[in-house]
Structure 1
Amino acid sequence: MVKKYVLVSGGVISGIGKGIIASSTGLLLKTMGLKVTSIKIDPYLNIDAGTLSPLDHGEVFVLNDGGEVDLDLGNYERYLDVTLTRANNITTGKIYRDVIERERKGDYLGKTVQVVPHITDAIQDWVERVAAIPVDDTGEEPDVCIIELGGTVGDIESAPFVEAMRQFQFRVGHENFALIHVSLVPTIGSVGEQKTKPTQASIRDLRGLGLTPDLIACRCEKTGLDEGIQAKISMFCHVQPHQVLAVRDCSSVYHVPELLREQGMVDFLWKRLNIEQTISITPALKEKGNQMWKRWNELTASQARLHDSDTVTIALVGKYTNLQDSYASVVKALEHACLALHKKLVIKWIEGTDLEPEACEASPVKHHNAWQDLCAAQGILVTGGFGRRGTEGKVAAAKWAREQKVPYLGICLGLQIAVIEFARNVCDMPEANSIELDENTTTPVVVYMPEISKTHLGGTMRLGLRPTEFQNGTEGSVIRKLYGGGSTVLERHRHRYEINPELISKFEAKGLQFVGKDETGQRMEIVELADHPFFVGVQYHPELLTRPLKPSPPFMGLILAATNELQKHLAAL
Structure 2
Amino acid sequence: MVKKYVLVSGGVISGIGKGIIASSTGLLLKTRGLKVTSIKIDPYLNIDAGTLSPLDHGEVFVLNDGGEVDLDLGNYERYLDVTLTRANNITTGKIYRDVIERERKGDYLGKTVQVVPHITNAIQDWVERVATIPVDDSGEEPDVCIIELGGTVGDIESAPFVEAMRQFQFRVGHENFALIHTKPTQASIRDLRGLGLSPDLIACRCEKTGLDEGIRDKISMFCHVRPEQVLAVRDCNSVYHVPELLKDQGLIDFLWKRLNIDTTITISRNLQLKGTDMWKRWNDLTTSQDRLHDSDKVVIALVGKYTNLQDSYASVVKALEHATLAARKKLSIQWIEATDLEAETRVTHPVKYHEAWHSLCAAQGILVPGGFGSRGTEGKIAAAKWAREQKIPYLGICLGLQIAVIEFARHICNIPEANSIELDEQTTMPVVIYMPEISKTHLGGTMRLGLRPTEFQEGSETTSVLRKLYGGGSTVLERHRHRYEVNPELIEKFEEKGMKFVGKDETGQRMEIIELPDHPYFVGVQYHPELLTRPLKPSPPFLGLILAAANGLEQHLAMLPGYVLEQ
TM bucket by the smaller chain? over 0.9
1:493 aligns with 2:480: yes
Given that 2:41 and 2:91 are in contact with CA atoms closer than 8 Å, whether structure 1 keeps it comes out as yes
| Corresponding position: 1:357 with 2:349 | no
Name the CA distance, whole Å, in 1 between partners of 2:521 and 2:43: 43
- Which residue is equivalent to 1:279? 265
Q: Distance in 2 between matches of 1:250 and 1:103?
A: 50
Query: Which residue number corresponds to residue 563 of structure 1?
Result: 550
1:228 and 2:231 equivalent? no
- Match for residue 58 of structure 2? 58
> Contact 1:16–1:219 at 8 Å: present in 2 too?
no
What is the CA-CA distance between 1:221 and the residue it aligns to?
A: 2.8
1:226: how far off?
2.9
Aligned-residue identity in percent: 86
1:164 matched residue in structure 2: 164
Mapping for residues 503-542 of structure 1, pairs under 5 Å: 503-542=490-529
Cα distance in 2 for partners of 1:300, 1:122 equals 41
3-state SS in 2 of match to 1:371: helix
Select between 369-378 and 213-222 the one with higher mean Cα deviation.
213-222
Give the corresponding residue for 1:152.
152
Q: Mean Cα displacement is larger for which, 12-21 or 78-87?
A: 12-21
Query: TM-score with structure 2 length normalisation?
Result: 0.98
Tell me if structure 1 keeps the 8 A contact 2:501–2:514.
yes
**TM-aligned CA deviation for residue 223 of structure 1:** 2.4
Give the equivalent residue in structure 1 for 2:40.
40
Aligned counterparts of 1:411 and 1:234: Cα–Cα separation in 2? 48
Give the Cα–Cα distance (whole angstroms) in 2 for the partners of residues 352 and 407 of structure 1.
Answer: 18
Write out per-residue CA displacement over residues 1-29 of structure 1, whole angstroms, 9 at most, x where no aligned residue: 00000000001222221000000000000
- Residue 408 (structure 1) aligned to one of 394, 410, 413: 394
Alpha-carbon distance, 1:373 to partner: 0.4
Give how far 1:200 is off.
Answer: 1.5
**Deviation per residue, 1:248-302 (Å, 9 max, x gap):** 1221000000000000000000000000010000111001000000000000000
User: In structure 1, what is the Cα distance between the partners aligned to 2:486 and 2:512?
Assistant: 9
* Cross-structure match for 1:325: 311
- Partner in structure 2 of residue 451 of structure 1: 437
Letter in 1 for 2:505: D
Report the counterpart of residue 118 of structure 2 in structure 1. 118
Measured after TM superposition, the shift of residue 43 of structure 1 is 0.2
Aligned partner letter, 1:39: I
Q: Is this contact kept in 1: 2:17–2:183, CA < 8 A? A: no
Q: Once the two structures are superposed, what CA deviation does each residue of 1:37-90 show, in whole Å capped at 9, x if it has no partner? A: 000000000000000000100000000000000000000000000000000000
Cα separation, 1, equivalents of 2:295 and 2:274: 35
Rounded Cα–Cα distance in structure 2 between residues aligned with 1:435 and 1:274:
59
Q: Does 1:393 align with 2:379?
A: yes
- 1:77 counterpart residue number: 77
| Counterpart Cα distance in 2 of 1:209 and 1:383 | 43
Within a 5 Å distance, the mapping from 1:170-249 to structure 2 comes to: 170-183=170-183, 199-249=185-235
Once residues 280 and 488 of structure 2 are traced to their aligned partners in structure 1, the CA distance between those partners, rounded to angstroms, is: 48
Q: Which runs of 5+ in 1 are unaligned?
A: 185-198
CA contact (8 A) 2:448 2:481 kept: yes
Whole-angstrom distance in 2 between the partners of 1:172 and 1:40 = 19
1:345 aligns with 2:331: yes
User: Which residue is 2:457 aligned to?
Assistant: 471
Structure 2 unaligned segments of length 5 or more: list them. Answer: 561-567
The residue number in structure 2 matching 1:309 is 295
Question: Residue 29 of structure 1 aligns to which amino acid in structure 2?
Answer: L
Distance in 2 (CA, whole Å) between partners of 1:106 and 1:24 is 43
Match of 2:538 in 1: 551
Which stretches of structure 1, 4 residues or longer, exceed 4 Å deviation after superposition? Answer: none
> In structure 2, what residue type is equivalent to 1:240?
R
Amino acid in structure 2 at the alignment position of 1:238: H
1:122-141 to structure 2, matched below 5 A, reads: 122-141=122-141
DSSP 3-state at the match of 2:37: strand
**Given that residues 314 and 348 in structure 1 are in contact (C-alpha distance below 8 angstroms), is that contact kept between their aligned partners in structure 2?**
yes
Take 2:392 and 2:12, find their aligned partners in 1: how far apart are those partners? 45
SS at match of 1:181: strand
> Hey, what does 2:16 align to over in structure 1?
16
**Stretch deviating more after TM superposition (213-222 or 512-521):** 213-222
CA distance in 1, matches of 2:520, 2:336: 22
Q: Is the 8 A contact 1:467 1:488 kept in 2?
A: yes
With normalisation by structure 1, the TM-score equals 0.97
**C-alpha contact 2:15 2:150 (8 A) present in aligned 1:** no
CA distance in 1, matches of 2:332, 2:140: 41
Q: CA RMSD in A?
A: 0.6
> C-alpha distance in 2, partners of 1:250/1:162?
31
Q: CA deviation at 1:227?
A: 3.5
CA distance in 2: counterparts of 1:381 and 1:266, whole angstroms: 39
CA contact 2:501–2:515 (8 Å) conserved in 1 = yes
SS in 2 for 1:180: strand
Structure-2 separation of matches of 1:407 and 1:119: 52
1-structure distance, mates of 2:417, 2:177: 61
Residue of structure 2 aligned with 1:266, choices 252, 270, 273: 252
Report the residue type matching 1:415 in the other structure: L
What is aligned with 2:321? 335
State the secondary structure of the residue aligned to 1:452. coil
For residues 482 and 345 of structure 2, what CA distance do their matches in structure 1 show? Answer: 28
Q: What is the CA-CA distance between 1:572 and the residue it aligns to?
A: 1.1
1:463 maps to amino acid: L
SS in 2 for 1:228: helix
Distance 2:236 2:246 in 1: 12
Q: Which residue of 2 aligns with 1:370?
A: 356
Q: Deviations over 1:431-460 (max 9, x none)?
A: 000000000000000000000000000000
3-state SS of the aligned residue for 2:443? coil
Q: Deviations over 1:201-222 (max 9, x none)?
A: 2111111111000000011234
d(CA) in 2 for partners of 1:236 and 1:66? Answer: 44
CA distance in 1, matches of 2:211, 2:13: 19
Q: Assess if the C-alpha contact under 8 Å between 1:58 and 1:326 holds in 2.
A: yes
Once residues 459 and 510 of structure 2 are traced to their aligned partners in structure 1, the CA distance between those partners, rounded to angstroms, is 18
Matched residue SS, 1:430: coil
2:250 partner letter: G
Cα distance in 1 for partners of 2:20, 2:223 equals 23
In 2, distance between residues paired with 1:125 and 1:390? 45
What SS does structure 1 have at the residue aligned with 2:158? Answer: helix
- Equivalent pair of 1:402/1:535 in contact (CA under 8 Å): yes
1:412-431 maps to which residues of 2 (within 5 A)? 412-431=398-417
| Comparing 537-546 and 5-14, the one that deviates more | 5-14
- Per-residue deviation, 1:316: 0.2
